[in-house]
Amino acid sequence: MSSIVFILVGTTHAGNLGAAARAIRTMGFDTLRLVDTVSPRKDEALARASGAQPVLESAARFDRLAEAIADCQAVYGTSARQRHLSVPLLSCREACEMAATSITSELAPLERVAFVFGRERSGLTNEELDLCTRHLHIPTDPDFSSLNLGAAVQVVAYEAASALAAQGGGAPATTSGKEEDPPVSSDSMEHLHAHLERVMINTGFLDPARPRHLMRRLKRYFERNRPSENEMAILRGILSATENPRPPAPEKRAPVPGKD
């Protein structure tokens, strides 16, 4: 099920890498990506993988989360709490059902969906959560909400596999009959954000010395409403026209009767 990728960010304990690899493999997944983690080839990691060593050995490694999700069209970031200016926070089951529906849609199926897990102690940073299209929360006992990384990955992997099975491996997600375009990748979104910020600074709408939360608000708006390729072309075209405006076409006058 390569449509779903699991991404670990800043993992410091090798054993957790092995536990995560084992967790996703038991649910039928095999794509793991690692961002700024310890080596997955440490003895403890390989031992905890317990038969899922190929998942660890094939795991791609990245320095930044933006690079790891560049080809993903939907990104679910795990969060223990609602953040300020947050994108929608979904339960684990809601998020996995949404992901399964988007993958199995007959009209505009997504090619790649990511589930992102943060550091053992502090989770994902606000900047990393800004890169996510949705936030995912695993409901736990409020009096004892501690959940280790391997267990968290196992819960999400189980819910994702169950949701995909319930979809029947290709059931239509909508019955409108209207052809739709899938949303663009995270890499395209990063280019849009950079272009938008540049235009806002150049037009004086954004003061880079006092940015406040303007870019964060805009990023989260577009992540809630990620555009398609056609919509992205329109947005980038508008921004380019703002940067390099063309003079208006000369007004055509109607010919005066009796004059050559």
Task: Render each residue's pLDDT in the chain as its tens digit; 260 residues.
Answer: 569 999 999 999 999 999 999 999 999 999 999 999 999 999 999 999 999 999 999 999 999 999 999 999 999 999 876 665 566 789 999 999 999 998 988 766 888 999 999 999 889 998 898 889 889 999 888 888 778 999 999 999 999 999 999 987 533 333 333 446 778 887 888 888 889 888 888 888 888 888 777 887 887 778 777 788 888 888 888 888 888 887 777 776 666 666 65
Residue 12: inside a domain: yes
Residue carrying the six token digits 């010395």: 209
Do residues 87 and 10 both lie within one domain?
A: yes
Inside any domain, residue 156: yes
Q: d(Cα 28, Cα 242) in Å, to the nearest integer? A: 48
List of E strands, the chain: 4-9, 32-35, 60-62, 74-78, 89-91, 113-117, 134-137
Is the same domain home to 150 and 203?
Answer: no
State the residue for tokens 């909400």: 145
Residue 9 in domain: yes
242 Cβ contact partners less than 8 Å away, ≥ 6 residues apart = 199, 203
- State which residues form the domain around 113: 4-167
Taking a C-beta distance cutoff of 8 angstroms, is the pair 118, 154 a contact?
Answer: no
Is residue 253 a part of any domain in this protein? no
How far apart, in Å, do the first and last CA atoms of the chain sit? 74
98 in a structural domain = yes
Please check whether residue 175 lies inside any domain of the structure. no
CATH number at residue 24: 3.40.1280.10
For residues 83 and 88, what is the distance between their CA atoms, to the nearest angstrom?
10
CATH code for the domain of 200: 1.10.8.590
C-alpha distances in Å from residue 79, one per residue of 31, 120, 221, 239:
21, 12, 18, 33
pTM over 0.85: no
Which residues lie closer than 8 Å to 62 by C-beta, 6 or more apart?
33, 34, 35, 36, 68
Count: domains in the chain: 2
Q: What Å distances lie between residue 134 and 19, 25, 87, 114, CA to CA?
A: 25, 24, 6, 10
Whether 133 and 190 share a structural domain: no
Question: For residues 131, 137, 143 and 144, what is the CA-based torsion angle, rounded to 10 degrees?
Answer: -80
Q: Clarify whether residues 92 and 11 are in a common domain.
A: yes
Q: What is the DSSP string of 32-66?
A: EEEES---TTSHHHHHHHTT-HHHHHT-EEESSHH
Q: Which pLDDT value is given to residue 243?
A: 83
Q: Are residues 213 and 104 in the same domain?
A: no
Asked if 87 and 206 sit in the same domain, the reply is no
Q: What is the pLDDT of residue 179?
A: 45
Residue 173 belongs to some domain of the structure = no
